[in-house]
Amino acid sequence: MKTLPHLFQSNRDWAARTAAADPAFFTRLSGQQSPQYLWIGCADSRVPATEICGLQPGEMFVHRNIANLVVHSDMNMLSVLQYAVEVLKVKHVIICGHYGCGGVKAAMGRDSYGLIDNWLRFIKDLYAKHHAAIEAIEDPNERVNRMCELNVAKQVANLCYTTIVQDAWKRGQPLSVHGWVYGLHDGLLKDLDMCVSAPEQLPEPYRID
């Protein structure tokens, strides 16, 4: 017996609708993918990367984890990044957080959620660093939202410090790293205007010659 039959049914409906709208869609995509963008976003079910950008399957390479972290020793993220940059040759990497992120909220609190606390420590460290400024914000939701922005900024920096991004720039490969935040309440993306496209934009200690 098939499990979750409703999902298979809706899958068949989707495949039929897609093929009806564009008969060559699956044949074309099964040949190869050539996305222009790599998205690193939160695993939150309300932030489906391709969909919120109005893109089709094949147009965006996607990596998601809890609270859209870029950890320099995370082999999973690094492998996605290396493949996206060196093989697929994406031109843009987008780190996208979202307002009201549960991971960020948890990192700012004192409750324990088990193993995940260790992953969220990266955000707790950032929160500790900016503690006074964050706590000076009156509205608790605004405090979380500000931390969501600071978290994206930190992850953009982390991504630029990787050998993969810096090697690409060294080769002269055009590559920009962007920091965005998505609003769950209105479905809109906000650009944090922190696009990095060259090593000269990085602090000196992190630059690789």
Distances (CA, A) of 204 to 33, 54, 70, 129, 199: 36, 37, 20, 21, 9
- Identity of residue 81: L
**Residue 86: exposed, middle, or buried by beta-carbon count in 10 A (0-12, 13-18, 19+)?**
middle
By CB under 5 A, name the one of 93, 101, 120, 126 that touches Co ion.
101
| Interaction of residue 42 with Co ion, rule CB under 5 A | yes
| Residue 35 vs 103, nearer CB to Co ion | 103
- Among the listed ranges 7-15, 31-39, 44-52, 115-123, the one in contact with Co ion (CB under 5 A) is 44-52
Catalytic residue among 17, 28, 46, 131: 46
Tokens 């950032």 sit at which residue?
126
- Among the listed ranges 10-18, 101-109, 147-155, 191-199, the one in contact with Co ion (CB under 5 A) is 101-109
By CB under 5 A, name the one of 38, 44, 60, 96 that touches Co ion.
44
| Residue 42 vs 90, nearer CB to Co ion | 42
CB 33, CB 9: distance < 8 Å:
no
Tokens 């697929």 sit at which residue?
88
Q: How far is the CB of 102 from Co ion (least distance, A)?
A: 5
Question: Is 46 in the active site?
Answer: yes
**Residue 70: exposed, middle, or buried by beta-carbon count in 10 A (0-12, 13-18, 19+)?**
buried
Which residues have a catalytic role annotated? 42, 44, 46, 98, 101
* Residues binding Co ion (CB under 5 A): 42, 44, 101, 103
